[in-house]
C-alpha cells in the first residue's frame, strides 16, 4: 500500500486507457504522456498497462507502507525521498515508512510515478484510469491508501536502458492535415504553419485551448468521431486540441490531427508555453 498524504495540484490514477468502449460514448482516458508512462513501467519490469500516478504541475506527498521499487518519469519535480533528492528515469528502492515528496515541475508539466506491481485500484471497463462518472473518484483529492500489486522486481546492476527522454523545450508539434484543413484558403493555411501559438489557461485532461484565434468561414459539420490530438476550430476561431479525456464525438471543423509523439510533447506543456505546428504531408 501507499498512502497519499498531500495530493498536489492535480493527481490521478492512469494507465493506457479504455480502448473498446468509444461506441457507447466512453472516452479513451489514460496517461496524457503515454511515452513517459510506458518508460516508467519498463524501468520496473511492469506490464505496459500497470497503473501509475499522473502528477500535474506540483506533485503529491506519499508515504510507503511496504518495501518496493518506484520510478519517476516525465517532468522533473525535484523529488525528495526522506528529504534527499532522488533521480528520475531510474528505479528507486523505497522502504516501509519512507516519504516521497514531489515539488513543482521544473520542466514540462506531468510526472509519472510508477510502482513495481502497479496500483491496483478498481478496474472499470478494462482500465483503472480515473474518470468522472465511471470510477468512484475522478482524481485523488484526499488522504487515501492505494493498494499495490505484487512484484519480484530487482534492478540488475550495470544494465543501462537507452531511454528516449522528452525534449521539453521543443516547440514543434507535428500534425497531419485534418478533414476540413483543405477548406482553408492559402493565407489561413500559411498563418497556421508560420505563427506561434500559446497555451491558454483552459488546459486540462480533456483539452488544451490556444490563446490565438484563426479567422475563418468554415461550415459547421455534422457530429463525427474525434480523437485525442484532434485540433478543432470553434465558430469564433478558437483552436482546441483534444486530449485523452475528450468526448469521443465532436461537431466542430477539424483542422489537424497530432501525431502520437506530438500529443505526448503537448501533454508536457503548461499555460503560456508556446507551440508551432509543423504540417506533415498526408499519408497517400
Partner 1 sequence: MITIHSNFRVIALLPKVLLLEWEEQPSEKLLEFLLSYKAVIEKQIKVTRCVMGYQSLMVHLLEDIEKLDWWKQHLNKLLIKTKKQKQRKGKHWNIPVCYDLDHAPDLATLANAVQKSVEEVIALHTQKPYRIYFLGFLPGFLYLCGLDKQLHFPRKEKPLLEVPKGSIGIGGMQTGIYPNSSPGGWHLIGRTPLSLFDAKLQPPCFAAPGDWISFKSIDSKTFEIIDKQSNQGTYQIKPYD
> Could you give phi then psi for residue 189, rounded to 5 degrees?
-65, -40
Which of 18, 37, 15, 36 is closest to 28 using CA atoms?
18
For residue 154, the minimal CB distance to partner 1 (Å) is 35
Select from 8-16, 64-72, 149-157, 244-252 the region that touches partner 1 (CB under 8 A): 244-252
Q: Is 48 exposed, middle or buried (0-12, 13-18, 19+ CB in 10 A)?
A: exposed
Cell triple for 210: 490556444
Select from 51-59, 124-132, 204-212, 268-276 the region that touches partner 1 (CB under 8 A): 124-132
CA atoms 12, 15, 16, 21: torsion sign: negative
Q: Which is nearer to partner 1, 187 or 283 (CB)?
A: 283
For residue 89, the minimal CB distance to partner 1 (Å) is 27
Confirm or reject binding of residue 187 to partner 1 (CB under 8 A). no
Q: Residue 3 carries which DSSP code?
A: E
Helices vs strands, H then E, count in the chain: 3, 20
Select from 72-80, 131-139, 194-202, 237-245 the region that touches partner 1 (CB under 8 A): 131-139
Q: How far apart are the first and last CA of the chain?
A: 50
For residue 281, the minimal CB distance to partner 1 (Å) is 10
Confirm or reject binding of residue 255 to partner 1 (CB under 8 A). no
Confirm or reject binding of residue 227 to partner 1 (CB under 8 A). yes
Select from 47-55, 66-74, 145-153, 175-183 the region that touches partner 1 (CB under 8 A): 175-183
Q: Which is nearer to partner 1, 8 or 27 (CB)?
A: 27
Confirm or reject binding of residue 20 to partner 1 (CB under 8 A). yes
CB neighbours of residue 215 within 10 Å: 9
Taking a C-beta distance cutoff of 8 angstroms, is the pair 52, 115 a contact?
yes
Which of 27, 34, 28 is closest to 265 using CA atoms?
34
Binding test (CB under 8 A) with partner 1, winner from 6, 22, 80, 234: 22
Site residues (vs partner 1, CB under 8 A) = 19-27, 124-125, 132-134, 176, 178-179, 222-225, 227, 229, 247-249, 257, 259-260, 282-284
Amino acid at each position: 500500500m501507499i498512502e497519499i498524504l498531500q495530493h498536489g495540484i492535480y493527481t490521478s490514477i492512469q494507465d493506457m486507457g479504455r480502448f473498446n468502449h468509444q461506441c457507447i460514448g466512453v472516452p479513451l482516458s489514460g496517461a496524457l504522456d503515454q511515452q513517459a508512462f510506458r518508460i516508467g513501467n519498463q524501468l520496473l519490469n511492469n506490464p505496459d498497462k500497470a497503473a501509475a500516478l499522473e502528477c500535474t504541475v506540483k506533485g503529491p506527498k506519499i508515504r510507503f507502507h511496504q518495501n518496493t521499487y518506484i520510478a519517476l518519469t516525465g517532468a522533473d519535480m525535484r523529488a525528495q525521498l526522506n528529504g534527499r533528492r532522488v533521480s528520475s528515469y531510474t528505479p528507486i528502492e523505497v522502504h516501509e515508512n519512507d516519504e516521497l515528496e514531489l515539488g513543482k515541475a521544473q520542466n514540462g508539466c506531468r510526472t509519472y510515478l510508477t510502482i513495481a506491481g502497479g496500483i491496483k485500484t478498481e478496474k472499470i471497463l478494462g482500465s483503472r484510469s480515473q474518470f468522472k462518472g465511471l470510477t468512484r473518484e475522478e482524481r485523488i483529492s484526499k488522504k487515501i491508501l492505494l493498494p499495490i500489486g505484487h512484484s519480484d522486481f530487482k534492478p540488475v546492476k550495470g544494465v543501462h536502458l537507452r531511454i528516449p527522454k522528452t525534449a521539453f523545450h521543443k516547440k514543434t508539434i507535428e500534425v497531419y492535415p485534418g478533414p476540413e484543413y483543405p477548406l482553408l484558403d492559402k493565407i489561413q493555411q500559411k498563418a497556421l504553419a508560420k505563427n506561434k501559438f500559446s497555451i491558454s489557461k483552459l488546459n486540462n485532461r480533456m483539452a488544451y485551448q490556444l490563446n490565438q484565434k484563426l479567422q475563418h468561414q468554415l461550415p459547421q459539420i455534422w457530429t463525427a468521431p474525434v480523437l485525442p490530438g484532434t485540433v478543432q476550430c470553434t465558430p469564433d476561431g478558437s483552436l482546441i486540441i483534444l486530449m485523452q479525456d475528450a468526448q469521443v464525438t465532436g461537431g466542430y471543423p477539424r483542422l489537424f490531427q497530432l501525431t502520437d509523439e506530438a500529443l505526448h510533447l503537448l501533454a508536457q506543456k503548461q499555460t503560456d508555453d508556446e507551440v508551432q505546428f509543423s504540417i506533415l504531408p498526408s499519408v497517400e
